[in-house]
Amino acid sequence: MHTPKEGIKIVNEIALNKEGYKVSKTLILAFLAGAYVAFGGLLAIIISGGSPGIAANNPGFAKFLFGAAFPLGLILVVIVGAELFTGNNAYFIPNILTKRQRAYAMLRNWGLVYIGNFVGALFVAYVITYLTHLVTDAPYIDMVHKIAKSKTSNTFLVTFIKGIGANWLVCLAIWQGIAAKNTIGKIVAIWIPVMAFVTMGFEHSIANMYFIPLSIFEGADITWSTFFIKNLIPATLGNIVGGALFVGMPYGYLFGKEDN
C-alpha cells in the first residue's frame, strides 16, 4: 500500500487533473457518479427492504445488510472513474493549503459536480426505478417511504452532524482506496467505511438525491421543499465539513508539505 505521504501526492495530482477537465467532461462524469450511488441505494433497498422478517427480529442485522450493499456506488466511482461531490470535498484541500490551487477551482468543481450528481441520481430514481416499478410493491415500497420519512424528520442540526459523520467516512474510504495498490484491496478499503456510515444511519447528500425523490415519485407525503430544507441543505453542509475539515485539512497539513 501507499504511505500517507505517497497517498497525498496522488490526491494532489488527482485534484490538479480535475481542475483541467472541460465543463462537459465534469458534468458527464458527475452524472455517472450520481447514477452509481443511486444503483447502490437501489441494491440496498432490494436486499434489506426485501427482508422484513429479518428487520422485525434482528433490526441491527437488517441495517447491516443495507449498509453492506450500498458501497457498490463508491466502488464504481473509484474503480471506473467518476466525479462525486462528497469525495471532491476533500481532494482539493491539500493543494489549497500549499497554494498549488485556488479555492475558485475547488468551488467550480463542486458546483458542476453537485448538479451532475443530482441529475444522475434523479435519472435512476425516476427512469430506472420508478418507471420500471421495481419498488412499487410491498415490502420494498415500505422501505422506500420509511427511509424518506426518517431522513426528513430530524432537526437541521442533527442532519448536519450526521452529514459530517457520513463524509468523514466516505473520504476516508477514498483515501484508503488510493492507498491500496490492487483492485481487491481498493474494493475492501472502500467497502468497510462506507458500509459503516450507512449502517450507522449517517446522511450522504448524493445518496439522499436518490432516496427521497424516489419516495416522492412513489407517492410519499413529502414535498420537494421539505426535501431541500429538512435534508439536502443540512446534509450537504455537513458533508462539506466532514470531507474538508476532518479529512482533507488534517492530512493535507500533516503530509501535504514538501520535506525541507
The string of pLDDT tens digits covering residues 182-223 is: 999 999 999 999 999 999 999 999 999 999 999 999 999 999
Percentage, residues of the chain above pLDDT 90? 97
Note the pLDDT of residue 106.
Answer: 98
**pLDDT given for residue 260 in this prediction:** 37
Model pLDDT for residues 129-160, shown as the tens digit of each residue: 999 999 999 999 999 999 999 999 999 999 99
Q: What is the pLDDT of residue 257?
A: 75
Coil, helix or strand at residue 50: coil
Q: Does residue 80 carry a pLDDT above 50?
A: yes
Buried b (16+ CB within 10 A) or exposed e, 178-215: bbbeeeeebbebbbebbbbbbbeebbbbbbbbbbbbbb
Average pLDDT over residues 228-255: 97
Averaged confidence pLDDT in the chain: 96
Band of residue 258 on the pLDDT scale cut at 50, 70, 90: low
Domain boundaries, the chain: 4-253
* pLDDT mean over 43-70: 95
Residues 5 and 12: their CA atoms lie apart, in Å, by 11
Q: Tell me the per-residue pLDDT of 100-114, one tens digit each, with 9 for 90 and over.
A: 999 999 999 999 999
First to last CA, the chain: 24
The hierarchical CATH code for the domain 4-253 is 1.20.1080.10
